[in-house]
Structure 1
Amino acid sequence: MAIVKMNKFILLLFESHKERLLEVLQGFEGVQFINLQNEDIVENYEDLKGLSKDEVGEKYKLYEENLSKIRFALDFLQTYAPQKSTFLSLLEDKKEISLSQLTAVMESNSWNDVYDELKKKEVILNDLHNQKTKLEGEICALLNWTNFDAPLKSLRELNFSIPFLGTTSKQYEDILVRDFNKQIMNGCVEILNRDNQDIYIFALVHHSEEEKAQELLKKFGFSTFSQSYEASPFEIIESYNSKIKQLIIKEKEIKESIKNFDGEREHLLVAYEYFNNLILKLNASNNFLKSEKVITICGWNPVENNKELEALVKKSIGNEYYIAFNKVDEEEASQVPIKLINNSFSTPFESILEMYSMPLYTEVDPTPILAVFYFMFYGMMLSDAGYGLIMIAVSAFALSKVNNKERRNIFKLFMFAGISTMFWGALYGGWFGDLFNYFGFNPPKLLDTTTDIAQIFILSLIFGVFHIFIGLGIKGYILIKSGNMKDAIYDVLTWYLTLIGSILMLMRVGGKIGTVLFVVGIVGLLLTQGRSSPTLGGKIGGGIYGVYGITGYLGDIVSYSRLLALGLATGFIANALNLIINLFPSPIKYVLAPVLFLGLHTFNLVINALGSYVHAARLQYLEFFSKFYEGGGKKFTPFKLSDKYIKIIK
Structure 2
Amino acid sequence: MAVSKMSKLTLIAPQGYSEKILSTVQGFQGVEIRDLFQQTVSNAWVADYFNEVEPLASQTELTKIEDQLKAISEAIQFIERHGSSKEKSFHLKRRQEALKVLEETFDETDFLAELINIQDLEKNFLKTEKKRQTLQEEESLLQKWQSLDFVPKNYSLYSTNFFLGSSDPEAWERVEHQMKKQQIYYEVIHSDDQTIHFGLLYLREKNELVQELIRQFSINAFRYDLPILPKEKLAEIQQASLELIEQQKLLTRLIGQKKVMIEKLELAEEILLAKKNRWLIYHRFIKNERVFLLQGWIETEMFETLKVFLAESVDLTNFYIEIEEPSDFEIEEEIPTKLKNNRFVRPFEMLTEMYSLPKYHEVDPTPWFMPFYFVFFGMMVADAGYGALMLVVTTITLRTLLPRGMERFMQFFQILAVPTMLWGLIYNSFFGFSFNYQPLLSTSNDVISILILSVIFGVIQIFIGLGLAASEKIKVKNYLGAISDGFAWQGILTGTIVGGLGKIVMHSQAFFTVGVVLASFSALLIVITPMIQSKSKLQGLASGAYNLYGITGYIGDLVSYTRLMALGISGGSIAAAFNMLVSYMPPIARFSVGILLMVILHGLNIFLSLLSAYVHGARLQYVEFFGKFYEGGGRAFRPLKTEEKYVNIKQEK
TM-score class, shorter: 0.7 to 0.9
SS of alignment partner, residue 512 of structure 1? helix
Match of 2:483 in 1: 489
Quote how far apart the aligned CAs of 1:515 are.
Answer: 3.8
Report Cα offsets for 1:456-485 as digits up to 9, x if no partner. Answer: 122112212222222222111111111111
Whether contact under 8 Å (2:404, 2:648) holds in the other structure is: no
Q: In structure 2, what is the equivalent of residue 360 of structure 1? A: 359
Q: Deviations over 1:236-285 (max 9, x none)?
A: 88987887677566545533443322333333344344444444445443
Distance 1:592 1:480 in 2: 64
Deviation at 1:570, TM superposition (A): 1.8
In the alignment, does 2:348 pair up with 1:349? yes
Partners of 2:355 and 2:185 lie apart in 1 by: 82
Aligned to 1:602: 603
Contact 2:84–2:255 (CA<8 Å) still a contact in 1?
Answer: no
Q: Which amino acid aligns with 2:78?
A: F
Give the one of 460, 468, 489 matched to 1:474: 468
Q: Please give the alpha-carbon distance, in whole angstroms, between the structure 2 residues aligned to 1:582 and 1:645.
A: 48
1:74 aligns with 2:76: yes
Alignment partners' CA distance in 1, 2:438 and 2:354: 38
CA–CA distance in structure 1, aligned partners of residues 213 and 262 of structure 2 = 66
Q: State which of 297, 300, 304 in structure 2 corresponds to 1:300.
A: 297
**Contact residue 65 and residue 276 of structure 2 kept, 8 A:** yes
Q: CA deviation at 1:421?
A: 0.5
Alignment-derived partner of residue 414 in structure 1: 413
1:149/1:232 contact within 8 Å kept: no
1:16-71 deviations in Å (ceiling 9; x for gaps)? 33233324323333321101233457875554661423436797776666555444
Letter in 2 for 1:264: M
1:453 lines up with 2:447 in the alignment: yes
Matched letter for residue 30 of structure 1: G
Which residue identity is paired with 2:122? Answer: E
Question: Which residue of structure 1 lines up, in the alignment, with residue 339 of structure 2?
Answer: 340
- Indicate the larger mover: 73-82 or 33-42: 73-82
Q: 1:353 to 1:100 in 2, by over 3 A?
A: closer
Bigger shift: 601-610 or 521-530?
Answer: 521-530
For residues 317 and 113 of structure 1, what CA distance do their matches in structure 2 show? 34
Q: Report 1:127-526 matches (<5 A).
A: 127-135=127-135, 137-138=137-138, 150=148, 153=151, 157=155, 159=157, 160-163=160-163, 165-167=165-167, 184=182, 186=184, 205-219=202-216, 221-228=218-225, 250-251=247-248, 253-290=250-287, 293-310=290-307, 316-319=314-317, 321-333=319-331, 334-402=333-401, 408-434=407-433, 442-502=436-496, 508-509=503-504, 510-526=511-527
Aligned to 2:35: 35
Q: How far 1:348 sits from its partner (Å)?
A: 2.0
The 8 Å contact of residues 385 and 431 in structure 2, kept in 1 or not, is answered as yes
Deviates more, 1:363-372 or 1:423-432: 363-372
Return closer, same or farther for 1:176/1:466 CA change in 2, 3 Å cut-off: farther
2:373 maps to amino acid: Y
CA distance in 2, matches of 1:389, 1:395: 10
Letter of the aligned partner of 1:335 in structure 2?
E
SS of match in other structure, 2:637: coil
Which residue of 1 is the match for residue 8 of structure 2?
8
What is the DSSP-based 3-state SS (H/G/I as helix, E as strand, rest coil) of the residue aligned with 1:260? helix
Contact 1:56 1:283 in 2 (8 A): no
TM-fit CA distance, 1:364 = 0.9
The separation in 2 between residues aligned to 1:495 and 1:299, in whole angstroms, is 42
- Whole-Å separation in 1 of the counterparts to 2:71 and 2:592: 55
Change (3 A) 1:611 1:240: farther
* Structure-2 separation of matches of 1:231 and 1:16: 72
Q: What displacement does 1:450 show?
A: 1.4
TM-score, scaled to structure 2? 0.82
Shift of 1:625: 1.6
C-alpha distance in 1, partners of 2:566/2:149?
Answer: 79
Aligned to 2:508: none
Sequence identity percentage: 30
* Cα distance per residue 1:189-216 (max 9 Å; x no partner): 98986979x9877665432121233234
Q: Which amino acid aligns with 1:482?
A: V
1:419 deviation in Å?
Answer: 0.7
Q: Which amino acid aligns with 2:116?
A: D
SS in 2 for 1:442: coil
Cα deviation for residue 372 of structure 1 reads 0.8
Determine the structure 1 residue equivalent to 2:635: 634
Give the Cα separation in 1 of the matches to 2:585 and 2:497.
51
Separation (CA, whole Å) in 2 of partners of 1:105 and 1:78: 25
Partner of 2:344, secondary structure, is coil
Matched residue SS, 1:53: coil
Instruction: Report the CA distance shift for 1:523/1:191 in structure 2 as closer, same or farther (over 3 A).
Output: farther
Greater alpha carbon shift after TM alignment, 107-116 vs 481-490: 107-116
* In the alignment, structure 1 residue 559 sits paired with structure 2 residue 560: yes
Q: Is the 8 A contact 2:27 2:100 kept in 1?
A: no
C-alpha distance in 2 between matches for 1:22 and 1:380:
49
1:287 positional shift: 1.4
CA distance in 2, matches of 1:550, 1:8: 44
Mapped partners of 1:354, 1:476: distance in 2? 23
SS at match of 1:511: helix
Structure 2 unaligned spans of 5+: 505-510
CA distance in 1, matches of 2:375, 2:436: 25
SS in 2 for 1:35: coil
- Secondary structure of the residue aligned to 1:285 is coil
The answer to whether the 8 Å contact 1:13/1:295 transfers is: yes
Task: For 1:249 and 1:567, locate their aligned partners in 2 and report how far apart those are by CA, in whole Å.
Answer: 65
CA RMSD of aligned residues (A): 4.2
User: For residues 8-157 of structure 1, what are the structure 2 equivalents within 5 Å?
Assistant: 8-39=8-39, 46-47=47-48, 50-55=51-56, 67-80=69-82, 94-98=94-98, 101-102=101-102, 105-106=105-106, 110-135=110-135, 137-138=137-138, 150=148, 153=151, 157=155
Q: What one-letter code is carried by the residue in structure 2 that aligns with 1:120?
A: D
Which residue matches 2:507?
Answer: none
Change (3 A) 1:82 1:277: farther
- 3-state DSSP of counterpart to 2:105: helix
> Match of 1:74, as an amino acid?
I
Counterpart secondary structure, 1:10: strand
Deviations 1:560-613 (A, max 9, x none): 222122212221121122122222212342344444433432332233223222
Residue identity opposite 2:5 in structure 1: K
Distance, in Å, in 2 between the alignment partners of 1:237 and 1:522 is: 98
Mean Cα displacement is larger for which, 555-564 or 513-522? 513-522
Cα 1:541–1:108, aligned 2, differ >3 Å: closer, same or farther? closer
Is the 2:387–2:417 Cα contact (8 Å) retained in structure 1?
yes
Q: Deviations over 1:376-401 (max 9, x none)?
A: 11111111001111222223333444
Distance 1:42 1:367, change over 3 A: closer
Aligned length: 635
Q: Matched residues in 2 for 1:424 and 1:83: separation? A: 50
Which amino acid is 1:560 matched to?
Answer: Y
- 1:625 and 1:191 map into 2 onto residues whose CA distance is 83
Q: Secondary structure at the match of 1:22?
A: helix
1:112 Cα offset (Å): 3.5
Q: Secondary structure at the match of 1:52?
A: coil
Query: Hey, what does 2:613 align to over in structure 1?
Result: 612
Distance 1:217 1:536 in 2: 99
Query: Amino acid of the residue matched to residue 356 of structure 1?
Result: Y
Taking the aligned partners of 1:538 and 1:138, their CA distance within structure 2 comes to 89
Deviation (angstroms), 1:645:
2.1
